[in-house]
């Protein structure tokens, strides 16, 4: 990290969608959709503790499995700013007794820009994963 050692966790966030997901059927087969949504998060741990994240995500879904097509996120921390861009990612809808209980996702993002207190992550690729934490809410974690 260009002379700065970071813990494994770059950031852990609590997140909530800010706009209802838009689901567009592609029409070539059943349960094949493009989904987009926006969300906002507050930082719990890591370099981005007490920071905020805003993001937009677009994904392709075949029934309960999704593949991320695009995602862009902005991270604001005390004294720092960063922009992340999706490299790759997949997601799965979690079901319990026939009902959707959330989505788990994982993949990689690259910090295309970072400054101030976040300068050490500029140009770095990080792993991300999500897990549901309640109705419509999820936790997002970036690791080195």
The full set of domain ranges for the chain reads 9-143
Residues ≥6 apart with Cβ < 8 Å to 117: 47, 77, 78, 79, 80
Its pTM surpasses 0.75: yes
How high is the pLDDT of residue 8? 85
How high is the pLDDT of residue 136? 83
What SS3 class is residue 121? helix
Q: What would the CATH number be for the domain defined by 9-143?
A: 2.40.350.10
What SS3 class is residue 119? helix
Pairing of strands 80-96, 137-143: unpaired
How high is the pLDDT of residue 13? 98
DSSP code, position 1:
-
């Amino acid at each position: 990290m260009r002379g700065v050692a970071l813990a494994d966790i770059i950031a852990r966030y609590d997140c909530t969608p800010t706009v209802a997901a838009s689901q567009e059927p592609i029409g070539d087969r059943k349960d094949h959709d493009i989904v987009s949504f926006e969300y906002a998060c507050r930082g719990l741990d890591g370099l981005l503790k007490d920071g905020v994240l805003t993001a937009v995500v677009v994904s392709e879904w075949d029934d309960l499995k999704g593949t991320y097509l695009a995602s862009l996120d902005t991270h604001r921390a005390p004294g720092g700013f960063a922009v992340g861009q999706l490299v790759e990612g997949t997601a799965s809808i979690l079901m319990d007794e026939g009902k959707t209980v959330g989505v788990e996702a994982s993949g990689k993002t690259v910090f295309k820009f970072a400054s101030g207190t976040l300068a050490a992550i500029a140009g770095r690729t990080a792993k991300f994963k999500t897990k549901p934490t309640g109705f419509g809410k999820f936790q997002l974690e970036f690791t080195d």
